């Protein structure tokens, strides 16, 4: 008769302790889950940033190639104009002396 209440008293602190432990584990799991979610969101954001930067690099490369091509055409055009103009002709002073 006396052992019944004693065992329930012993169980109560034990079950309270288990509940406290379970609550602590659950809180720790919740913190871990929130941290994982935060890290996943950060990774996704960084992936989007990387994709945007990669697209920008590709666009700049394409524009650079286009401008290089235009510069070559303009350079050739200027060279042709200079060779056709008497102002830019080289003078050979040795042949004039003869």
Contacts of 88 (CB under 8 A, 6+ apart): 82
| 67-92 residues labelled b (16+ CB within 10 A) or e (exposed) | eeeeeeeeeeeeeeeeeeeeeeeeee
64-91 pLDDT tens trace: 999 999 999 999 999 999 998 888 776 6
Write down the pTM of the prediction.
0.53
């Amino acid at each position: 008769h006396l052992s019944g209440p004693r065992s329930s008293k012993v169980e109560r602190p034990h079950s309270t302790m288990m509940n406290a432990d379970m609550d602590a584990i659950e809180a720790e799991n919740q913190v871990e889950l929130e941290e994982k979610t935060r890290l996943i969101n950060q990774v996704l954001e960084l992936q989007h940033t990387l994709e945007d930067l990669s697209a920008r690099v590709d666009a700049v490369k394409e524009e650079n190639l286009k401008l290089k091509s235009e510069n070559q055409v303009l350079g050739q055009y200027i060279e042709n104009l200079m060779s056709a103009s008497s102002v830019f002709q080289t003078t050979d002073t040795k042949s004039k002396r003869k």
